[in-house]
Amino acid sequence: MTESRSLARLAALLADATRAAFCLALLDGRAWTSGELARHAGVAPSTASEHVTRLVDGGLLAEVRQGRHRYLRLAGPDVAHLIEELSGHTPPDPAPPRTLRSERAAVALRRARTCYDHLAGRLGVAVTDAMAGRRLLDPDGGYALTGAGRAWLADLLGALPPVKTRPMSRTCVDWTERRPHLAGASGAALCAHAFDRAWIARIGSGRAVKVTPYGRQALADLLDLDTDKLDTDRLDTDRLDVGGLNTDTGGAVSR
Amino acid sequence: MTESRSLARLAALLADATRAAFCLALLDGRAWTSGELARHAGVAPSTASEHVTRLVDGGLLAEVRQGRHRYLRLAGPDVAHLIEELSGHTPPDPAPPRTLRSERAAVALRRARTCYDHLAGRLGVAVTDAMAGRRLLDPDGGYALTGAGRAWLADLLGALPPVKTRPMSRTCVDWTERRPHLAGASGAALCAHAFDRAWIARIGSGRAVKVTPYGRQALADLLDLDTDKLDTDRLDTDRLDVGGLNTDTGGAVSR
DNA sequence: TGGATCGTTCGGGGAACGCCGAAAGGTCAT
DNA sequence: ATGACCTTTCGGCGTTCCCCGAACGATCCA
């Protein structure tokens, strides 16, 4: 009974569309200011301030005050995992994007993005599949690193990432693909490495990333991964998503 | 924005203490009637009826109507996983049990219980640790089944459990122990096997289970597991839980 | 057929919640 | 110091939500 109260309290933090929008935005792993969150969600700064305070008090967000700014980030990987998990259980999005702007943004997000600290979208899934195909991950065992995978990762990074509280590798079923991709400490290390080496770079201010020419070559060398195929895949699943409706406009706008 | 709406809608289903109590009760994996849930949560039948309808509509619960009864169960393992995940992020319970009755119940729950379809509590953790110690699970790899683990399980059950949508093995950080234990298809199969062979049996009508003499022997033979030690462990962690306060009453009551 | 049990629907009361605008506190740059 | 900017507090409005009791429909048993 006291148990159900605390569960309800936690869920209530995410049970509001504005707070949920905050958390989803913060899934990019970076720190946003209170005002940025307000504009992003389309509410008054005063409203955002109250929401942010509740999320911090509830332990979901961590804050850093700097001058007149209040920087907010997710409290940790476990919170990010929680949000992802909940998003994964959400019914598929029925509303097609309205404007050309939002359509382009949605396409970029589906193709490649970060999911807190690891890769997601078609790129994340493709990397995970390629690693599984080379026996670096074990698809039957929750996509855990195999012995070969550990060696491969240590060779790539110089050392295996340290494991404190979070698992070394974990799957994250993502929001657009509905397929598992690599998360956990190894997923985060791999993503950080890709940013360091400029294999990937952020597009604008959101979660979307693009593969650089460097990255295209590196991923081909490392995993036989053809990143150009990310577009082909998109067309296939688009066809599935809309169930045969208006494939024309969808295809035309996305060009 | 439409994305945050659906996340909020899902979270709102669990953002009420009564609905949360329903879901936690249903974590025992069995079907409860609407009236049972009402009594369990201490609300009027009419109130429970509305809550149940919302949970079913939201996809969290599945219903089977039989005569004048309405049987409710969690919609699937993924929903159970979600509830467990949320419970795991709940702050530790500060309220000690009041009555002797509830104290005894809490002790039994901590010792051994089911968590939807797999084992949890000290027993679940002990089995998982024993399997990891014998290299049947890989602690560094998200507690995935190793090759030896697959063979061991296939030998025990006659065949490996079929894997459709859920992962073969997965960890579930549980509510009292805060430590991982085996879940997923293999965890469910192992638990079902233990019930079939009468290694374990339910205590009363809740989630608590006890180890039978059969089970005591079988677990010792299979995994060198000394189920009598579950009590010793309990005392140790009790001491940690209460932080040095009233260890006397805690120890005395639990005898 | 009558009575008991289980569930649902409906109306209403009370509380909690989310939102805003106005006003004010800090902080930074000129 | 002055003005621009970011954030917070407060009062108030409207909505939603949770709960109950009463009445009703359905089912099972005697």
Q: How far is the CA of B203 from the C1' of D25 (A)?
A: 37
Identify which has the larger pLDDT, A207 or A177: A207
Q: What is the pLDDT of residue B88?
A: 82
Shortest Cα distance from B36 to chain A (angstroms)?
Answer: 15
The A residues from 64 to 83 touching B (CB cutoff 8 Å) are 78-79, 81-83
Give B-chain residues touching A10 at CB under 8 angstroms: 86, 89-90
Give B-chain residues touching A140 at CB under 8 angstroms: 144-145, 150, 163, 168
Across chain B, which has 255 residues, the per-10-residue mean pLDDT values are 88 97 93 95 96 96 93 93 88 65 79 91 92 86 82 91 76 74 91 95 84 93 84 42 28 26
Residue B186: closest C-alpha in chain A: A141
Question: pLDDT digit string (tens) for A40-81?
Answer: 999 999 999 999 999 999 999 999 998 899 999 999 998 999
A130 pLDDT exceeds 90? Answer: yes
Q: CB within 7 A of strand D: which residues qualify?
A: A 33-36, 38, 45-46, 48-50, 52-53, 68-70; B 12, 15-19, 42-44, 46-47, 50-51, 66-68
- Three-state SS for A184? helix
Interface test mutation site (partner B, options A3, A4, A135, max chain B beta carbons within 10 A): A4
Q: What is the pLDDT of residue A124?
A: 92
Q: What is the pLDDT of residue B95?
A: 60
CB A1 within 8 A of CB B18: no
Would you tell me which CATH number, out of the four given (3.40.980.10, 3.40.50.12160, 1.20.1560.10, 1.10.10.10), belongs to the domain A2-75?
Answer: 1.10.10.10
B152 forms beta bridges with none
Q: What is the pLDDT of residue B98?
A: 64
Q: What is the pLDDT of residue A244?
A: 27
Please, what is the average pLDDT of chain A? 83
**Amino acid code (one letter) for A189:** A
Q: Note the ipTM here.
A: 0.81
B175 — contact with chain A (CB < 8 Å)? yes
Identify which has the larger pLDDT, A154 or B253: A154
A32 pLDDT exceeds 50? Answer: yes
Question: pLDDT digit string (tens) for A189-220?
Answer: 999 999 999 999 998 767 889 999 999 999 99
- Quick count: other Cβ atoms within 10 Å of Cβ B243? 8
Q: What is the pLDDT of residue B93?
A: 61
Extents of the domains making up chain B: 2-75, 84-242
| CA distance to A56, B130, B179, B224, per residue, from B115 (Å) | 30, 19, 14, 23
Shortest Cα distance from B217 to chain A (angstroms)?
Answer: 29
Q: What is the pLDDT of residue A90?
A: 80
- Going by pLDDT thresholds of 50, 70 and 90, the confidence category of residue A11 is very high
Q: What is the pLDDT of residue A96?
A: 62
Strand D nucleotides within a 7 Å radius of protein CB atoms: 5-10, 17-23, 25-28
Angle, helices A77-88 vs B77-88, to 10°: value is 150
Question: pLDDT digit string (tens) for A74-114?
Answer: 999 989 999 998 988 887 665 666 677 777 777 888 889 99
Instruction: Tell me what percent of chain A is helix, strand and coil, each rounded to the nearest 5.
Output: 55, 15, 30
- Three-state SS for A160? coil
DSSP B111: H
